[in-house]
Structure 1
């Protein structure tokens, strides 16, 4: 490796490839990051580890051999979906999720406790009171399920069936939340409860996280990374890659296109000749060019003033040492030409004759 090239071409190629992959990963993550942010601290969600959260039952089901998954987008394909509800959830979004889960087993767990954060302990919460009855009635109305009377703990600890759908509502969240699982009996009952709600013993249990997070938004980035426009995006990326690889083989400056009309007298004469050649007129210029050659020969050989026509031709013919009619014969041949090759040959013959006589003088 020379001093002028501190990095080998292979190292440069690997560096460029790594940069492209990192950029692509950053774009994808930045596009979908808002949809996968963690739940807010203190929320009663399936990934929360506070007393009102449900991370404990998720871990317990996994240890019991169940296939468990936390879903950040509304799940419509799961055999059983568990929806822990927090006090701050949107009622309309809860009703929409219930509508999406028509004819699918779904367990909605109503919130029980209001919590507050510890001042000096980030992530820790404590009970600040019970959820008011009015808020629970709003959730029950959205699910179209009857709310048991206050103080009826037995009914609150059992799943309540909703009207017309295989949905259930659990009012006492302590049956499944982290605080309630501190009791062994509650832990055993919680696993049995969820297993009993499945229609297929081998199916997966999903826990919903979509209500705890911002609604899934649409954006230009998602439009480019999802069907049907994903194929167009991949085509554009492939075309850009081909253009990049093609550019690696070029060296030096890019060739600039020539001017249609170049500068200078020679370029002007060439352009004029091309135009006349295209028009088929250049072959008939012999007679006109012969007049110019005659005047040029008289000027170059210093013919006496006043000589014209036959007198001038005779004087030019006498420039030949043998006294023949060299110039007039060559000039007549030029005037008689009818095509470009013969005109060029005759004019070249005259040019050499004039040049030779000028050198002699």
Structure 2
């Protein structure tokens, strides 16, 4: 025998089981899936914005981001540590503050170099001529392999400094470069393979070799400095502390000590040249706005996910009953703007109804029936109401005509 308490417990358990069976998804699983989706979307946006900065090419090549022997990341770090304001330029409009350092490669377009120099409007610019032909190491992609000297190191200079040639020779044992115009530097060791400028290129010599050839020259026309041998400033040359000090003194003397410090361009090497919308969103000053928008979106999702009470069941699209049918018909007439056309028809229907109820003679025309209804009806007469119905042109006039006809019909059949 089943007791009432046992029956109630059984019904409750059955209801709970049916509720669990009715739920198609587990809330914990949905929360985990949503969290994974949000984290994945954020990671995708971040990696898309900073993919160029995470590329292994940053660690090789002859540019200011490279940590390879032919790169210049060491001089960037040394200049920053020595107190010289230093920054990297990812913009093809670097501005006119400080000493702009260009590190073109052998295949760099001369027009790109010329455009950056002319954008400086006479402010000092240092162009470091390429020297070594390199390629990525197939085993370690962040390393490089050197294949000798570049074929045409002076190619990037053909527009901004036409006529400037570049030659290479082996340095003599113990050969030193001469820099009398640089404060604190008189001479310093020459690289094993010395790359130099054509001495007849119309440049003012700043650093020269023992044979008088120009290693660092100054072109007064555009206020540009041309360094023929990048080994004086690249990472391989910064292995020696004395060479690093000379390099910092050299850059300061060329104009880095002025307001603006050093600006290393990397657009010539394929890193930058424009503004990325995602990076602007993820960096100050727009980072605060991005976080605020994310917070607002999170609050909106939280508000939409929480429901208070049992949700109300949706009603029928079309309700039952004659009243709903009449309302729908009226809505269709109003939507089609046919009130003016329906009023005369309603008048004819009201007249036919009263004529049938009062047993009007058969075979009457519309005019004869209207005259007959005028005699049996009340004031106002039916013919007047029917004529007014033909003049309806607005919804309000149609409603007034229908009310008058309905009142006349009720009084004509004595049905109040």
Match in the other structure for 1:288: 352
Q: Deviations over 1:10-39 (max 9, x none)?
A: x97x99799679757845863785698563
Q: 5 Å matches for 1:250-265? A: none
Shift of the 336–167 alpha-carbon distance from structure 1 to 2, 3 Å rule, reads same
Cα deviation, residue 345, structure 1: 4.7
Match in the other structure for 1:321: none
Cα deviation, residue 116, structure 1: 4.4
Match in the other structure for 1:106: 125
Q: Tell me, in whole angstroms, the C-alpha distance in 2 between the residues paired with 1:332 and 1:128.
A: 116
Shift of the 244–285 alpha-carbon distance from structure 1 to 2, 3 Å rule, reads farther
Alignment pair present for 1:340 and 2:340: no
Q: Which moved more, 1:183-192 or 1:29-38?
A: 29-38
Match in the other structure for 1:180: 237
Match in the other structure for 1:169: 226
Q: Tell me, in whole angstroms, the C-alpha distance in 2 between the residues paired with 1:277 and 1:128.
A: 93
Q: Which moved more, 1:121-130 or 1:28-37?
A: 28-37
SS, match of residue 84 in structure 2: coil
Are the equivalent residues in 2 in contact too, given 1:44–1:54 (CA < 8 A)?
A: yes
Match in the other structure for 2:246: 189
Q: Tell me, in whole angstroms, the C-alpha distance in 2 between the residues paired with 1:269 and 1:65.
A: 83
SS, match of residue 161 in structure 1: strand
Cα deviation, residue 109, structure 1: 0.6
Structure showing greater Rg: 1
Q: 5 Å matches for 1:132-147? A: 132=151, 135-144=152-161, 146-147=164-165
- Output the TM-score relative to the length of structure 1: 0.60
Are the equivalent residues in 2 in contact too, given 1:43–1:52 (CA < 8 A)?
A: yes
Q: Tell me, in whole angstroms, the C-alpha distance in 1 between the residues paired with 2:214 and 2:313.
A: 80
Shift of the 83–217 alpha-carbon distance from structure 1 to 2, 3 Å rule, reads closer
Match in the other structure for 2:400: none
Count of aligned residue pairs for this structure pair = 295
Are the equivalent residues in 1 in contact too, given 2:154–2:166 (CA < 8 A)?
A: no
Are the equivalent residues in 1 in contact too, given 2:71–2:234 (CA < 8 A)?
A: yes
Match in the other structure for 2:200: none
- Output the TM-score relative to the length of structure 2: 0.53
Cα deviation, residue 117, structure 1: 4.5
Q: Deviations over 1:173-197 (max 9, x none)?
A: 1110111112222111100111112
Shift of the 185–257 alpha-carbon distance from structure 1 to 2, 3 Å rule, reads same
Q: Tell me, in whole angstroms, the C-alpha distance in 2 between the residues paired with 1:68 and 1:18.
A: 40
Are the equivalent residues in 1 in contact too, given 2:64–2:71 (CA < 8 A)?
A: yes
Report the RMSD for the aligned CA atoms in angstroms.
5.3
SS, match of residue 148 in structure 2: strand
Alignment pair present for 1:48 and 2:66: yes
Are the equivalent residues in 1 in contact too, given 2:67–2:73 (CA < 8 A)?
A: yes
Match in the other structure for 2:286: none
Q: 5 Å matches for 1:2-151? A: 23=41, 26=44, 30=48, 33=51, 37=55, 39=57, 42-77=60-95, 78-132=97-151, 135-144=152-161, 146-147=164-165, 150-151=168-169
Higher strand share: 2
SS, match of residue 159 in structure 2: helix
Q: 5 Å matches for 1:280-359? A: 288-294=352-358, 335-336=377-378, 339-347=405-413, 349=415
Cα deviation, residue 125, structure 1: 2.7
Are the equivalent residues in 2 in contact too, given 1:109–1:170 (CA < 8 A)?
A: yes
Cα deviation, residue 215, structure 1: 7.3
Give the unaligned 5+ runs of structure 1.
226-233, 259-263, 296-307, 310-330, 351-361
Are the equivalent residues in 2 in contact too, given 1:39–1:45 (CA < 8 A)?
A: no
Are the equivalent residues in 1 in contact too, given 2:99–2:254 (CA < 8 A)?
A: yes
Are the equivalent residues in 1 in contact too, given 2:101–2:127 (CA < 8 A)?
A: yes
Shift of the 26–333 alpha-carbon distance from structure 1 to 2, 3 Å rule, reads farther
Q: Tell me, in whole angstroms, the C-alpha distance in 1 between the residues paired with 2:128 and 2:327.
A: 93
Shift of the 246–66 alpha-carbon distance from structure 1 to 2, 3 Å rule, reads same
Match in the other structure for 1:327: none
Are the equivalent residues in 1 in contact too, given 2:67–2:74 (CA < 8 A)?
A: yes
Give the unaligned 5+ runs of structure 2.
1-18, 170-195, 197-207, 282-289, 334-338, 362-372, 380-403
Q: Tell me, in whole angstroms, the C-alpha distance in 1 between the residues paired with 2:263 and 2:269.
A: 15
